[in-house]
Amino acid sequence: MPGEGLDSGTRTRSVRSGEMSNNRIHAVVSDIVNGIRQVLVRHGVTFDEYRAGVMYAVKTGEAGEIPLMLDVFLNSTVSDIENAAYGGTEGTIEGPYYLPNAPIIPNGGEILTYDDDRNVPMVVRGTVKDLEGQPIAGATVDIWHSTPDGYYGGIHNDIPANYYRGKVLTDSEGRYFVRSTVPVPYKIPDQGPTGALLEMMGGHSWRPAHVHFKVRADGYHTLTTQSYFEQGDYVEDDCCNGVRPVQVKPDVRENGEKVIENDFQLAPDVIASRAA
């Protein structure tokens, strides 16, 4: 059994640990197991229920949905931990659809969208600064979001990979500005065990409409975040728990264009405080 021997602090562990030391693996995994044990006791979980849970995990693996299910429930918490560790603008989940090679869009230019995209035009603009409020020139603001039908370029339905995503570099005053069209709410894959579980829990598989950002500059901690639209559907009950209040943007329109404004602050690439 994978859980066997977890309480033995003295046993030599030969697990290949990636970035985690064996001590840290021991600390984290024993706490996970103990946490689950407490839940089982609190709810008086029966052996049949336990077996059903094990089989659900098997089914989730067979459907290839282990990453999806874990991300739905846990990724946002890891983002919060990183936010607390680094400081700077509050980030949130990356989601599965970031592509590193998005086209460079000139500052002031347009992200590629469908010719027949009738969604409201959107301006995405703001600044990138350091924690002292000094502008960061030449920072990369990588932006990606859904099509008007809720898909992602380079991922779904043969949409070209250079559509609905692009990188813009900040100018000498740390400013960036691009045009696109507003995204729509997005339904995560809902035909498998993850969607079924969310439904059994009385939930759903929708995320509010959102614009993704990844902001990078040499010497700074990369910020991964999203912007949401005030009053938008699912802003209050994102299936991925990825919404933080500062990321919800007011309904600002200028000349018929929706404006999404973010003044990002990047923290130095050093962990200021590490959660034990």
Residues engaged in binding ligand DHB (CB under 6 A) = 68, 71, 93, 95-97, 186, 188, 207, 240
User: Can you tell me whether residue 254 is helix, strand or coil?
Assistant: strand
Taking CB positions, which residue lies at the least distance from ligand DHB? 95
Q: Which of residues 65-104 bind Fe ion (CB under 5 A)?
A: 95
Q: Are 65 and 193 in contact (CB under 8 A)?
A: yes
Select the binding partner of residue 220 from ligand DHB, Fe ion, none (C-beta < 5 to 8 A, by kind).
none
Considering beta carbons, is residue 29 or 155 the nearer one to Fe ion? 155
Q: CB-hemisphere CA count at 13 Å for 76?
A: 12
What CA–CA distance (Å, rounded) separates 131 from 173?
15
Tell me the closest approach of the beta carbon of residue 24 to ligand DHB, in angstroms.
27
Query: For 127, phi and psi rounded to 5 degrees?
Result: -135, 160
Coil, strand, or helix at residue 211?
strand
* Count of residues that bind Fe ion according to CB under 5 A: 1
User: 218: which 2 tokens?
Assistant: 């040499």
- Nearer to ligand DHB (CB atom), residue 149 or residue 173: 149
Query: Do 87 and 153 form a contact (C-beta atoms < 8 A)?
Result: no
If the CB atoms of residues 86 and 186 are measured against ligand DHB, the closer one turns out to be 186
Kindly state whether residue 232 participates in binding Fe ion, applying the rule CB under 5 A: no
In the complex, what is the shortest distance from the CB of residue 34 to ligand DHB, in angstroms, rounded to a whole number? 28
d(CA 197, CA 5): 31
183 touches Fe ion by CB under 5 A: no
Compute the distance between CA of residue 243 and CA of residue 15 in angstroms, rounded to an integer: 35
Q: How far apart are CA 212 and CA 227, in angstroms?
A: 7
Minimal distance, residue 98 CB to ligand DHB, in Å: 9
Nearer to ligand DHB, 175 or 214 (CB): 214
The CA distance from 197 to 157, in Å, is 26
Q: Which is nearer to Fe ion, 114 or 151 (CB)?
A: 151
125 binds, among ligand DHB, Fe ion, none (CB under 5 to 8 A by kind): none
When the beta carbons of 136 and 239 are compared against ligand DHB, the nearer one is: 239
Return residues touching Fe ion (CB under 5 A).
95
